[in-house]
A and B are shown apart, each in its own frame.
Chain A
Amino acid sequence: MTETPSSHLETPRFLDAGEAALVVEFGATVDPAVNDRVLALDAALRARTPEGVTETVPTYRSLMIHYDPLTLDRGALVEAVKGLSRAEAAERAPGRAWIVPCCYEPAFGEDLAEVADKVGLTPDKVVALHSGAEYRVYMYGFAPGFAYLGGLPQALGLPRRPTPRPPHSEGALMIGGGLAAVASFPMPTGWYVLARTPERLFSARRDPTFLFEAGDTLHFEAVDAAAFAELDARAGAGEVVARLVEPQA
């Protein structure tokens, strides 16, 4: 599932996922231009939510709109979305940019050596490529606070493992299938673990509970194990340790 810029649909397709969810599909590929339109519609619907819309879920290429069909008629929802799509140009605010600390040392980047071997680069070069790229949060999925990221350098494009590896740590930075991810919950995975961030993508006791929104951009900043420990303690106490990059005036 690599990123493939492609022609996207001029007008979105409306697909029913039962009588209580409508899929508004803008394309069939992982493409920032398609995702921009998904996020623009999502922002417009959140700003002016028609009565009966219960929840919206942005993904790479479509927006799933959950609704109560006893409150909101399907036809009226489609018309509302068409109206917003035209005004979608009302362009969503640009995503925020974050600098996210992470540690690539062997105890944290458990699969770094394996990845370097597979892509034919030195571990240092893999780290330089991974930490030098700009990533887009396309969507969450799979588990609470599991963020799918686009922007992985092509040189690190590697299929996922045929069988999952043992559970990774909280905060694992992973790559697989041409994409990158940050995972909040330890789980077995078919992805390769390159590093670990002390930041909490998810914390029920913190406001905001989830740190990044779909559409945000991330840069990873390498720190050593000592800095990781210090940042981890602060993050554990509820502090946000990723830094927001202020937009240029």
Chain B
Amino acid sequence: MTAARLKILSGAGATLQDAGRHGYMRYGVTPAGPMDPLAFATANRALGNDLDATAVEVSVGGLSVVTEGPLDVAIAGGGFRIEHDGRALPSNVALTLKPDSLLTLKAGADGAWGYLAVGGGIDVAPTLGSAATHTRSGFGGLDGRALRAGDALVVDAARATLGEPAAMTVPWLDRRPDRIRVVLGPQADAFVPDEIEAFLNEGWTVTARGDRMACFLKGRPLRHAAGHDIVSDGIAMGAIQVPGDGLPIVLMADRQPTGGYPKIATVIGADIGRLAQAQAGVMMRFAAVSIEEAVNARRAERAALVPAIRLEPVVRTVFSSEFLLGLNLIDGVTA
């Protein structure tokens, strides 16, 4: 194990995240952490890291990095188009980056957040026990800000054992954002039953306004039974608040820990990542489930990450000249 570094060439909206800054919500501190906790944990699992090791969260702004020293990395989630020294790789992939090699992630047709984990984890001094970046309060990551060109991420205990690129077999990341499961409440009673029905039966479109704090939805506005101001109470990850304009807002990793709008429902833990990965323009519906179903889905998620992740070598799509010549001859015959 030796130290290695990842130098950032570009990466608009990319941040360092661990599993979040927990235990300080009572003091107004936002937990932050990954937008898609399952994809984040999957990338770490593929490397044998602790599931909460600090990794790079990549937004649709993409990422471009150069290595100093050999380094195992795994990328999961978000359906990014990945290139390593000019070679296209699957979007969920693990490999050893050789020294001075270039890795780029570009947003794909689906998905919004990808995770670049490194063998041994990225070393960052924690703020209140966590490296998770929350830019609004300036906590975590590098000086509390998003990554930018010129940053160098340090990996003290770097490993380089994976070798050639391998596709990760992670079927649990094949999630369609069309149906998002919720538990109704805590303020479902702020809406008449017809409006709850409308919330569940009508389609909602993800708007381009979203960020790490919230996902803003468009559709037929919901009417409150008696006003849209409540005395502030706690906000859980995935809480769906409905402000005065009647359009639902799903509160995500960078949410404030308390707030004063009625919350009609809460996205279940297992569907947080599914929702986070929805690009602007995606239409979805909400489905109400029981606590029991939500817990079962959470249990299945956790079970998926217990065994080691299967890695399949990526077959090189570079053909020998002899083979190509053969193709040409056959082409010549049939032409």
Interface residues, chain A, with chain B CB atoms under 8 Å away: 1, 15-21, 23, 25, 28-30, 42, 54-64, 66, 69-70, 74, 139-148, 185, 202, 204, 209-210, 214
Q: List 26 A-B contacts (CB under 8 A).
A: A16-B185, A17-B234, A18-B239, A18-B266, A18-B294, A25-B186, A25-B233, A29-B231, A30-B231, A42-B26, A54-B22, A55-B26, A60-B231, A62-B233, A63-B234, A70-B299, A139-B232, A139-B258, A140-B26, A141-B28, A143-B28, A143-B136, A144-B29, A144-B139, A147-B28, A214-B26
Q: CA of A56 to CA of B233 in the docked complex: distance in angstroms?
A: 12
Q: CA of A236 to CA of B259 in the docked complex: distance in angstroms?
A: 31
Most buried by B among A17, A18, A25, A42: A18
Tell me if B165 is interfacial: C-beta within 8 Å of chain A.
no
Would you call A17 and B231 a contact (CB within 8 A)? no
Additional 13 contacts, C-beta under 8 A, given A59-B231, A74-B295, A141-B28: A16-B185, A18-B183, A19-B295, A30-B231, A54-B23, A63-B234, A139-B258, A140-B26, A143-B28, A143-B136, A147-B28, A204-B127, A204-B128
Would you call B127 and A16 a contact (CB within 8 A)? no
Given the complex, which residues of B lie within 8 Å of A29, measured CB to CB?
Answer: 231
Tell me if B260 is interfacial: C-beta within 8 Å of chain A.
yes
Which of the residues A23, A28, A56 comes within 8 Å of B231, measured between beta carbons?
A28
Tell me if B143 is interfacial: C-beta within 8 Å of chain A.
no
Which of the residues B27, B237, B291 comes within 8 Å of A145, measured between beta carbons?
B27
Would you call B260 and A1 a contact (CB within 8 A)? yes
Tell me if B100 is interfacial: C-beta within 8 Å of chain A.
no
> Which B residues, 255 to 303, have Cβ-Cβ distances below 8 Å to chain A?
256-260, 263, 266-269, 291, 294-295, 298-299, 302
Given the complex, which residues of B lie within 8 Å of A28, measured CB to CB?
Answer: 230-231
Given the complex, which residues of A lie within 8 Å of B183, measured CB to CB?
Answer: 16, 18-19
Given the complex, which residues of B lie within 8 Å of A145, measured CB to CB?
Answer: 27-28
Most buried by A among B128, B229, B232: B232
**Nearest neighbor of B186 in chain A, beta-carbon distance:** A15
Chain B nearest CB, measured from A210 CB (Å): 4
Tell me if B317 is interfacial: C-beta within 8 Å of chain A.
no
Tell me if B320 is interfacial: C-beta within 8 Å of chain A.
no
Would you call B236 and A64 a contact (CB within 8 A)? yes
Interface string of B164-201 (1 = CB under 8 A from A): 00000000000000000001011100000000000000
Given the complex, which residues of A lie within 8 Å of B263, measured CB to CB?
Answer: 17
Would you call A69 and B236 a contact (CB within 8 A)? no
Would you call B26 and A17 a contact (CB within 8 A)? no
Given the complex, which residues of A lie within 8 Å of B291, measured CB to CB?
Answer: 16, 19, 69, 74
Would you call A18 and B258 a contact (CB within 8 A)? no
Interface residues, chain B, with chain A CB atoms under 8 Å away: 22-30, 127-128, 136-137, 139, 183, 185-187, 229-239, 256-260, 263, 266-269, 291, 294-295, 298-299, 302
Given the complex, which residues of B lie within 8 Å of A147, measured CB to CB?
Answer: 28
Most buried by B among A1, A61, A144: A144
Given the complex, which residues of A lie within 8 Å of B239, measured CB to CB?
Answer: 17-18
Would you call B229 and A69 a contact (CB within 8 A)? no
Chain B nearest CB, measured from A16 CB (Å): 5
Given the complex, which residues of B lie within 8 Å of A142, measured CB to CB?
Answer: 28, 256, 258
Given the complex, which residues of B lie within 8 Å of A57, measured CB to CB?
Answer: 25-26, 234, 257-258
Chain B nearest CB, measured from A246 CB (Å): 25
Would you call A144 and B24 a contact (CB within 8 A)? yes
Most buried by A among B26, B30, B238: B26
Chain B nearest CB, measured from A159 CB (Å): 12
Task: Please provide the 8 A-B residue pairs with the shortest distance between their CB atoms, ordered closest to farther.
Answer: A64-B234, A18-B266, A141-B258, A19-B294, A15-B186, A140-B28, A21-B236, A17-B236
Chain B nearest CB, measured from A180 CB (Å): 15
**Nearest neighbor of A54 in chain B, beta-carbon distance:** B22
Query: If A18-B267, A60-B233 touch, does A55 touch B22 (CB 8 Å cutoff)?
Result: yes
**Nearest neighbor of A14 in chain B, beta-carbon distance:** B186
Which of the residues A17, A74, A140, A141 comes within 8 Å of B185, measured between beta carbons?
A17
Chain A nearest CB, measured from B131 CB (Å): 13
Would you call B258 and A1 a contact (CB within 8 A)? no
Chain B nearest CB, measured from A172 CB (Å): 15
Would you call B137 and A55 a contact (CB within 8 A)? no
